[in-house]
Amino acid sequence: MGNSNKILTDNLLEELLAQDRVTLPEDTSYDVQLDKIQNHFDFTITDNWPNNPDIMFYTETTADGYEVWIATDDDQRPSVNEDIYYYESDWLEKMEDAMTDGLNIYFQELDDDNYEFKEIVYNVYVEYYNDKKQELEDKLIDDGYKRESTEATTEMV
């Protein structure tokens, strides 16, 4: 019975994470989320050009006046088939991977109120939160904590 107070629960994990200033995604502001994920995944993001980015997200205007959205790692020769978007809704599909891969990112609309970008930051923060929670859970298990059991006994067949 010496280990009875070493029970690992979700509440315990959340309390210990909060002590380390790792808060639940829904309780964390956008600015804090962005700062935390930048430090955790080691990526940089800026709207200053040029900054030798690994990947760039920006808009251009076509010869006939249409706006297109570009997400490319080669601003001199973006691939028409893979890097240029006619619709803004798919434009940032490469952003999450760029962040979690630790890339140097140029994002033209960084200071704009871009809902899709904020949603990406939130999703990457959820990944960060889950990483930190798993790291803590693994450490506590190594320290002798046991996961809360859903079955009191196991039946032998």
Q: pLDDT tens digits, residue range 51-62?
A: 789 999 999 999
In terms of pTM, does the model score above 0.75? yes
Rounded CA-CA distance 101/93 in Å is 14
Domain ranges in the chain are 7-147
* pLDDT tens digit sequence for 25-79: 999 999 999 999 999 999 999 998 767 899 999 999 999 999 999 999 988 899 9
* 3 state DSSP class of 106: strand
Confidence (pLDDT) at 154: 47
At 153, the pLDDT band (50, 70, 90 cuts) reads very low
Q: What pLDDT score does 121 carry? A: 97
